[in-house]
């Protein structure tokens, strides 16, 4: 018996197939992962992400704290509600977790971290916060529903409390608005437009049922994974972990080197490493039939005819493209082809940027 979110009964009612996810009883699908995936790309789907950890960080020196804790620069957030994606690093530059932080006001930021890393994240954050006199409050009183897809905002905004209907629809991407403990952010993990809605636990099931009645299809963790992979979004624990720096998992863009005097945790290690990285984080498109899976071997042929090996970090079948895709850490190369070892056979794949589908459309150039 795992932990249950306030939406657990809704999942059972809607035929959710329940699996264990980091100690939580969560729906993997409600009948067909493929249909759920396609529904999010075409119209709108919703995900229970209440298992994720919401942390409110408050104090006069909270900005200085986050400026030390995060590899991205919290000073980039100057407007209320604005969100920042960042990694939180250890002293070796390894990724403890990736997270989103929202600026509420100068003494109050809200961060959402992964469910699977909750305990170590809270331990680390609390330890770092100690020197800054910042209060960390875990918001277990809030549930979270991600409503994603081209029709998601139109449908969901009408079902929110009246004081959030217009303001939520007016949000720019990567902004949030809050009223009476309901927090609506125009963010997501699918490559589609949509909202992530945090709300009091007791309000979650009523909103979920209203969304379902309005045509938003319940979607499980299975579709969430294929959607994020098509969108080229990293998954913690799979594409990176504490032994991997952001420079080795395609997250260079989230490391703010300027201002140079900002001494975030892990900075020294990253600076020592940044000119000596011999891998690249790439997208792979399987040209043959088959399905690429995590940890399969990638063989790259270099210009001098030698071969070297890399590894698939996330692989799956792309429902939108109808072929298999992957993210992989491979030796640095100018080649645009590689081979993936699948059950003893070498299958050809194209090396591309790790973004496959955005806003319902393929990002892949035709072969």
State which residue, 101 or 323, has the beta carbon closest to another protein.
323
User: What gap in Å lies between CA 344 and CA 205, rounded to an integer?
Assistant: 48
Least Å distance between CB 87 and another protein? 28
3-state DSSP call for residue 33? helix
Is the alpha carbon torsion for 54, 72, 97, 312 positive or negative? positive
Q: For residue 111, state whether it binds another protein (rule: CB under 8 A).
A: no
33 scored as a contact of another protein (CB under 8 A): yes
226 lies in the site for another protein, by CB under 8 A? yes
Map residue 192 onto helix, strand or coil: coil
Helix ranges (H only) for the chain are 8-13, 33-42, 62-69, 118-130, 152-159, 162-169, 201-213, 221-230, 267-273
**Minimum distance, C-beta of residue 291 to another protein, in the bound complex (Å):** 4
Among 317, 327, 349, 356, binds another protein (CB under 8 A): 317
User: How far is it, in rounded angstroms, from Cα 7 to Cα 29?
Assistant: 14
In which region does residue 72 sit, left (phi positive, over 0), alpha (psi from -120 to 50) or beta (all else)?
A: beta
CB-CB contact of 66 with 108 (8 Å): no
User: Which of 53, 279, 316, 333 is in the footprint of another protein by CB under 8 A?
Assistant: 316
* Relative orientation angle of helices 62-69 and 118-130, to the nearest 10 degrees: 120
Q: How far is the CB of 32 from another protein (least distance, A)?
A: 6
Q: Which strand (E) or helix (H) includes residue 100?
A: strand 95-105
- Going by the DSSP 8-state scheme, the letter that residue 21 receives in this structure is E
CB closer to another protein out of 36 and 48:
36
In whole angstroms, the minimum distance from the beta carbon of 313 to another protein comes to 16
Among 11, 29, 110, 151, binds another protein (CB under 8 A): 29
- The angle subtended at Cα 208 by Cα 204 and Cα 209, nearest 5°, is 120
**Binding track, positions 237-256, relative to another protein; x by CB under 8 A:** --------------------
Q: Which is nearer to another protein, 282 or 324 (CB)?
A: 324
Residues in 133-152 that interact with another protein by CB under 8 A? none
Distance of CA 40 to the CA centre of its chain: 16
What residues from 203 to 222 belong to the interface with another protein (CB under 8 A)?
222
| Residue selected from 127, 289, 334, 367 as contacting another protein according to rule CB under 8 A | 289
Phi/psi of residue 77, nearest 5 degrees: -90, 110
In the list 169, 291, 352, 355, the residue contacting another protein (rule: CB under 8 A) is 291
Which of 9, 12, 32, 106: binder of another protein (CB under 8 A)? 32
Which one among 14, 22, 23, 34 touches another protein, defined by CB under 8 A?
34
Compute the Cα dihedral for 72, 74, 76, 79 and give only its sign. Answer: positive
Q: In whole angstroms, how far apart are CA 119 and each of 125, 126, 221, 321? A: 10, 11, 21, 37
Stretch that binds another protein, among 2-10, 130-138, 234-242, 312-320 (CB under 8 A): 312-320
Piece in contact with another protein (CB under 8 A), picked from 42-50, 158-166, 285-293, 354-362: 285-293
Part of the chain binding another protein (CB under 8 A), chosen from 30-38, 114-122, 189-197, 210-218: 30-38
Residue among 101 and 316 whose Cβ is closer to another protein: 316
In the bound state with another protein, the residue whose beta carbon lies nearer, of 11 and 110, is 11
Q: How far apart, in whole angstroms, are the C-alpha atoms of residue 279 and residue 329?
A: 6
- Residues lying near another protein in the complex (CB under 8 A): 28-29, 32-34, 222, 226, 289-291, 293, 316-317, 319, 324, 343
């Amino acid at each position: 018996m795992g932990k249950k979110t306030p939406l657990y009964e809704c999942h059972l009612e809607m035929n959710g197939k329940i699996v264990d996810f980091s100690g939580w009883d969560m729906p993997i699908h409600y009948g067909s992962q493929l249909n759920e995936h396609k529904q999010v790309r075409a119209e709108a789907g919703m995900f229970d992400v209440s298992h994720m950890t919401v942390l409110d960080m408050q104090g006069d020196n909270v900005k200085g704290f986050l400026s030390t804790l995060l590899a991205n620069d919290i000073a980039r957030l100057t407007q209320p509600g604005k969100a920042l994606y960042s990694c939180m690093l250890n002293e070796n530059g390894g990724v403890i977790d990736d997270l989103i932080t929202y600026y509420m006001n100068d003494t109050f930021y809200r961060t959402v971290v992964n469910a699977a890393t909750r305990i170590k994240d809270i331990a680390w954050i609390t330890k770092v916060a100690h020197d800054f006199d910042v209060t960390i409050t875990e918001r277990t009183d809030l549930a979270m529903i991600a409503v994603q897809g081209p029709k998601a905002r139109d449908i969901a905004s009408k079902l929110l409390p009246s004081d959030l209907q217009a303001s939520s629809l007016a949000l720019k991407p990567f902004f949030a608005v809050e009223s009476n403990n309901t927090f609506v952010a125009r963010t997501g993990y699918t490559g589609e437009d949509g909202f992530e809605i945090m709300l009091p636990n007791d309000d979650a099931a009523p909103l979920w049922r209203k969304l379902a009645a309005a045509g938003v299809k319940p979607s499980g963790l299975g579709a969430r994974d294929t959607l994020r992979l098509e969108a080229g979004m990293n998954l913690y624990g799979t594409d990176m972990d504490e032994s991997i720096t952001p420079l080795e998992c395609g997250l260079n863009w989230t490391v703010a080197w300027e201002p140079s005097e900002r001494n975030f945790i892990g900075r020294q290690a990253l600076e020592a490493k940044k000119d000596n990285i011999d891998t690249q984080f790439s997208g792979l498109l399987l040209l043959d039939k088959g399905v690429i899976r995590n940890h399969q071997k990638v063989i790259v042929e270099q210009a001098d005819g030698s071969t070297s090996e890399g590894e698939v970090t996330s692989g799956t079948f792309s429902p939108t493209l109808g072929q298999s895709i992957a993210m992989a850490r491979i030796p640095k190369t100018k080649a645009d082809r590689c081979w993936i070892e699948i059950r003893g056979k070498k299958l050809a794949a194209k090396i591309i940027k790790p973004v496959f589908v955005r806003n319902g459309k393929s990002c892949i150039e035709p072969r």
